[in-house]
């Protein structure tokens, strides 16, 4: 690091210039201090003007050297409309954009935890809509507000680019807002690897705080990504003692892992039930209390995290639990809900089952039709067969669920995102994101590898390298060895249509 002074509009700003990073990173630092966007900065250095790809180590910067910056805070001029181009005239980047192939994020040195999390959050359209409506005042010094603004800009870049996008500006604000993500690795040098689950939690907290300042009654995080839990504490040793009941919000469910847990549902159940020792006023001594938590409100997007790491004192590391824990592509969490919520969801659950049965029946008829004679096929398709258990009464969602925007009225979810970790400790290894490709959205599916209609393709984000896999590859992320292991899973409520 070299401390330099940057002179701009009569003021001097002290900046710790990291000469191991390109000029774009230095511009991001100045953006956070002055509010002047990197595209509007003209920084005069030896040999001319600082460029994004300038090698800072070749500038010969000295302590307290004064640099001059020219630029104003304000909106960039819009580029003129580009003429229509044909595919054969496009660059590789333009072709990728035309085919809607998603772009990845460049690893800036142990930032895979951040890249993987952001790619999963990007799969939530309501989040993008909320950030698009939010704006930050010019010259804003609140690092958290600037985080949200730079995330909005980053998502826009990812949508428009066909190649890796370096998240310099976002990373700069993240480390300002949460200094622990700027911790240095004393043994190997550079920045330390961080925990993707911790970053996920801090990102939701930041979004909730910043977007809440807009005056919204409830934010996108509260509506679409937060549920409500009812927890009951009871002491079996004191049956006359009244149970303690409390309600509290939650943003994720925890999957606890031990020798008995082989499936996600088992781990979630363990996470919702525990026994602790505390003082009992009735017995006037310490006693065991059992807590049982049940869900009272389900969010549209449900985050489930896996407690894959534990402190290993003998080696002073956060060691990893590599045990296999299978997770489903379709998740039913009704068993973890209060009896009252289960009863309220019953009509919607029945309707959803009818929809899925009807689709299965239509696929069956279509498959038969491919091998049938034309006349026989017509007769087969003309038969009005109702799925088993279907109701003739038109379905209408209850007023309570209609009024609760962002809730899940069925308890049925489908997997749309996974953050995985490969490695043996929390402070090492590598994170990746796996995001489901929606049918009919984005570019065409890979040719030559036909998959059943009921399955999906997935984008595999290995930082800025993006490829595609099928459902079968996703189900292999359950753990059990030195392979990519699910650490955070993102589920979305199944649609009632």
Predicted confidence at residue 399, as pLDDT, reads 92
Predicted confidence at residue 60, as pLDDT, reads 87
Average pLDDT value for the chain = 86
How confident is the model over 200-257, as pLDDT tens digits?
999 999 999 999 876 666 899 999 999 999 999 999 888 888 899 999 999 999 999 9
DSSP string, 231-295: EEEE-TT-TTSPPEEEEEEES-EEE---TT--BHHHHHHHHHEEEEEEEETTTTEEEEEEEEEEE
- Strand, coil or helix: 30: helix
pTM over 0.85: no
Predicted confidence at residue 494, as pLDDT, reads 96
* Strands (E) located in 339-483: 412-422, 430-436, 457-462, 465-470
Q: How far apart are CA 496 and CA 349, in angstroms?
A: 9
- 254: tokens are 């925890």
Instruction: Please report, for residues 221, 297, 416, 482, the alpha-carbon distance to residue 405 in angstroms, rounded to integers and kept in the order given.
Output: 12, 12, 20, 41
DSSP string, 63-98: TTEEEEEE--SSPPPPPPPPPP--GGGS-HHHHHHH
Given a contact cutoff of 8 angstroms between Cβ atoms, the answer to whether 191 and 110 are in contact is yes
> pLDDT tier at 388 (50, 70, 90 boundaries)?
very low
pLDDT at 161 over 90: no
Predicted confidence at residue 79, as pLDDT, reads 54
Q: Give the DSSP letter of residue 479.
A: -
Cite the active site residues. Answer: 112, 430
Q: How far apart are CA 242 and CA 119, in angstroms?
A: 46
pLDDT at 162 over 60: yes
Bridge-based pairing of strands 301-306 and 485-493 is: antiparallel
Angle at 78 between CA 73 and CA 83, to 5 degrees: 160
């Amino acid at each position: 690091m070299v401390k330099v002074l940057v002179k701009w509009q009569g003021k001097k700003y002290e900046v710790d210039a990291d000469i191991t990073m390109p000029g774009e990173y230095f511009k991001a630092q100045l953006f956070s201090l002055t509010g002047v966007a990197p595209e509007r900065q003209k920084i005069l250095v030896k040999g001319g003007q600082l460029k994004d790809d300038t090698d800072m180590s070749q500038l010969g910067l000295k302590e307290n050297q004064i640099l001059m910056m020219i630029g104003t805070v304000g909106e960039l001029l819009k580029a003129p409309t580009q003429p229509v181009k044909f595919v054969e005239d496009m660059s590789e980047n333009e072709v990728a954009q035309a085919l809607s192939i998603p772009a990845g994020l460049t690893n800036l040195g142990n930032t895979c935890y951040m890249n993987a999390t952001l790619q999963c959050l990007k799969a939530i359209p309501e989040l993008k809509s909320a950030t698009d409506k939010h704006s930050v005042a010019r010259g804003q010094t609140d690092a958290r507000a600037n985080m949200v603004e730079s995330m909005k800009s980053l998502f826009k870049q990812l949508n428009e680019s066909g190649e890796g996008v370096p998240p310099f500006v976002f990373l700069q604000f993240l480390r300002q807002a949460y200094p622990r993500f700027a911790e240095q690795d004393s043994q190997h040098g550079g920045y330390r690897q961080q925990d993707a689950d911790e970053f996920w939690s801090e990102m939701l907290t930041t979004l909730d705080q910043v977007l809440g300042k807009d005056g919204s009654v409830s934010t996108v995080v509260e509506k679409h990504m937060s549920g409500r839990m009812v927890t009951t504490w009871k002491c079996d040793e004191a049956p006359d003692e009244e149970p303690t009941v409390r309600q509290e919000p939650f943003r994720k469910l925890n999957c606890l892992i031990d020798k008995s847990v082989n499936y996600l549902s088992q781990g979630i159940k363990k996470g919702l039930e525990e026994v602790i020792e505390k003082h009992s006023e009735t017995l006037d001594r310490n006693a065991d209390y059992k807590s049982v938590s049940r869900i009272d409100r389900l969010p549209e997007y449900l985050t489930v995290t896996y407690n894959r790491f534990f402190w290993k004192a003998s080696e002073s590391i956060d060691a990893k639990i590599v045990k296999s824990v299978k997770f489903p592509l379709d998740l039913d969490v009704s068993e973890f809900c209060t009896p009252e919520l289960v009863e309220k969801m019953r009509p919607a659950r029945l309707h959803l089952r009818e929809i899925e049965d009807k689709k299965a029946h239509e696929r069956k008829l279509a498959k038969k039709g491919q091998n049938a004679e034309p006349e026989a096929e017509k007769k087969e398709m003309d038969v009005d067969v109702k799925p088993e258990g279907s109701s003739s009464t038109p379905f209408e969602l209850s007023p309570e669920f209609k009024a609760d925007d962002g809730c899940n009225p069925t308890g049925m979810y489908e997997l749309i995102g996974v953050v995985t970790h490969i490695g043996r400790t929390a402070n090492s290894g590598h994170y990746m994101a796996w995001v489901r490709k929606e049918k009919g959205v984005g570019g065409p599916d890979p040719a030559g590898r036909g998959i059943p209609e009921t399955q999906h393709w997935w984008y595999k984000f290995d930082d800025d390298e993006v490829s595609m896999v099928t459902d079968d590859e996703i189900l292999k992320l359950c753990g059990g060895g030195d392979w990519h292991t699910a650490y955070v899973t993102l589920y979305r409520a199944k649609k009632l249509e």
